[in-house]
Amino acid sequence: MLGIVFPHLETVRVERVWVEDGVVRVKARTLDGALPYPSCGVSSYRVHSRYRRHLADAAVGGHPVVVDLLVRRLFCDVADCARRTFAEQVEGLTIRYGRRTVVLVALVRAIALALAGRAGARLAAVLHIVVSRVTLLNVLMALPDPIPPAPRVLGMDDFATRRGRRYGTVLVDVESHAVLDLLPGREKAPVAAWLAGHPGIEVICRDRAGAYAEAARSGAPDALQVADRWHLWDNLATAVDRTVITHRPCLQTPDVLTPSARRMAASPPSTLNPDTGAEKWLVTRTRERHNAVHRLLARGWTISAIARELGIARHTAERYAHCQNLDGLIEGALRTTRLDDYKPYLIRRWNEGCTDAARLFREIQTLGYPGRTPQAVRRYLRPLRTGLGSIRSPAPVLKPQQVTNWIMWNPQHLRGDEERQLGEVLSRCPELTAVRNHVHAFARMVCDLGGHRLPAWTDAVHADDLPALHAFADGLRRDHHAVTAGLTLPWSSGPVEGHVNRIILWNPRCQVAPRSLPLRNICWPVGPRAGRLSCCGHGDLWFQAILPDRDRGGSASSRITSGDACW
């Protein structure tokens, strides 16, 4: 029975087992006999002395276990040996200088790999293991860096330890879904150096980042680069969104106005259109800044000098300088307000004869309006105080993001009202109809792995007047070989995106690590699933992610989901 409960104690002589203060104590001693000296290998029989070691062991029946082991110290009879005595170690039970048995050491390491510091310490307490969060982190830091096998298909992507400030690069074996390494930064040099030190890579899956493309060409010139299809689809969605914003007037449903409302519509918008009047100063400022930036550019001024002259940020000056179409900037200036959802109610009450702004303000407050003063209501009603009578409630305006979603989604996934509204928008805008046709053609090319159709698709895009899609198509042409491979081969960055998601999820949970932790990359088998742990401590950040063997996760934006990507 003792061998079943304590199989690791079969190589020692157990003298007594008892329970004291809720702790199972095992009194044991090593067996007599000759032992080889670790340095010279010569067996020794002569005992120098004996002493007891108190070893913590794995709990049994909900009780912690302590092994009181009597061990020997023996002489070495070799004259030229560097040491005269040595202490015996029991294989499978003791570790030199250790105060835990081999079984407990393996259990503590598994907890540290799975949960790291605070969470691991809480689980260890439930398992009756006395260990602190700092000890668990030290166990992680003591693990050796593994030497992963040379991958044949490599995936790479960046992740943010602090968005906009600090980034890293994760390298994944796409075939085995194992994390190979974590590199600081997302620049060309460290990635190229890693690739140069790992020959034999045949395929590199990456996003559209130029630094990774240059690193692959420099560090692995013979490898085939594959542009990830999800990133291609996301880039297309961005181009479609810009096109929809440019044609925003087509999203407004024509409304049937009363005669007085028609007179209001025929009047100058600056005085009678409540929607544009509230934001007119933003449009005016945007137009003035755009004209000023381009006027100074024509004189030969630099971007930095223009920013200082106009009192704006440098990136704002760059945005105005690179934007030749003023409509896009003006559309960005027409921001939504908290009053938008309550405008139909205000117009209905106005038509009923209630023109008191303070009273209307109190009424919409009861409906959930978050404003604290009636100033916004007064500004909205001011153009209506012209004595022109009632006005019909405006039809709800579709948001560009909404229309972009409908264009990018699989038509079979659209509800009836969504399909109807999209059809109405497309009937008023032939440009958006062309965009929808190009998106459907690209989606079929992605799902059918028809990369050979890419040149014809880019030519068809350039045949239409769609500047945003022209820029997207030009980018595909510049990265033609990688994009064609991505649209032809089955490889993608799906496993890499799954690991990036885990890093992002663990990041806010592990902000309390010591600042002294260096950058560590650990891939270690955990449990029967042989999951993999990726740990990264960088500055004041420490985060970990359990990475199971099979994962096809990937980040998804609001305009595209995994179900909509393949039609």
| Pick from 454, 439, 441: nearest CA to 486 | 454
Residues 527, 370 contacting (CB under 8 angstroms):
no
Q: Which two tokens stand for residue 485?
A: 């491979």
Contact assessment for residue 457 and residue 477, using Cβ atoms and an 8 Å cutoff: no
Diameter of the chain measured on Cα atoms: 117
**Angstrom distances, CA of residue 251 to CA of 70, 337, 418, 421:** 85, 18, 13, 9
The alpha carbon of 145 is separated from its chain's Cα centroid by a whole number of angstroms, namely 25
Q: Does residue 539 sit in helix, strand or coil? A: coil
Q: What is the DSSP string of 312-360?
A: --HHHHHHHHH---HHHHHHHHS---TTGGGHHHHHHHHHTT---HHHH
Residue 384 DSSP one-character state? G
Nearest to 168 by CA among 551, 550, 524, 538: 538
Dihedral of alpha carbons 362, 367, 372, 377, sign: negative
Distance CA 547, CA 89 (A): 36
Query: What class has domain 153-228+492-547?
Result: alpha beta
CB neighbours of residue 355 within 10 Å: 12
Question: How far is residue 499's CA from residue 507's CA, in Å, rounded to a whole number?
Answer: 12
Neighbouring CB atoms inside 10 A of 546's CB total 16
Q: What is the pLDDT along the chain (567 residues), one digit of tens a residue?
A: 677 788 888 888 888 989 988 899 999 998 887 777 676 767 777 888 999 999 999 998 889 999 999 988 888 877 777 777 878 888 888 888 889 999 999 999 999 988 878 899 999 999 999 999 999 988 888 888 777 778 899 999 998 887 778 888 999 999 988 888 888 888 999 999 999 988 889 999 998 888 899 999 999 999 999 999 999 999 999 999 999 988 888 887 665 334 443 443 333 333 334 444 444 566 778 888 888 998 998 888 999 889 988 888 888 888 888 876 666 666 555 566 788 888 888 888 888 888 888 999 999 999 889 888 888 888 888 777 765 555 555 556 678 889 999 999 998 888 888 899 999 999 999 999 999 999 999 999 999 999 999 999 999 999 999 999 999 999 999 999 999 999 999 998 888 988 888 887 766 544 444 444 444 555 444 433 333 333 433 322 223 332 233 333 333 333 333 334 445
Q: Which two tokens stand for residue 451?
A: 């990369």
What pTM value is reported for the model? 0.57
Cβ atoms of 71 and 86 within 8 Å: the answer is no
CA 309 to chain centroid: 39
CA distances from 345 to 253, 325, 338, 388, 393 (A): 19, 36, 14, 19, 8
Report which of 25, 77, 78 is spatially closest to residue 52, judged by C-alpha positions. Answer: 25
Enumerate the β-bridge partners of residue 546: 533
Residue ranges of domains in the chain: 2-99, 105-142, 153-228+492-547, 229-247+398-486, 248-384
* Contact in structure between 544 and 535 (CB atoms under 8 Å): yes
Q: What is the DSSP letter of 526?
A: B
17 burial type by CB count under 10 A (0-12 exposed, 13-18 middle, 19+ buried)? middle
31 backbone φψ class: left, alpha, beta (φ>0; ψ -120 to 50)? beta
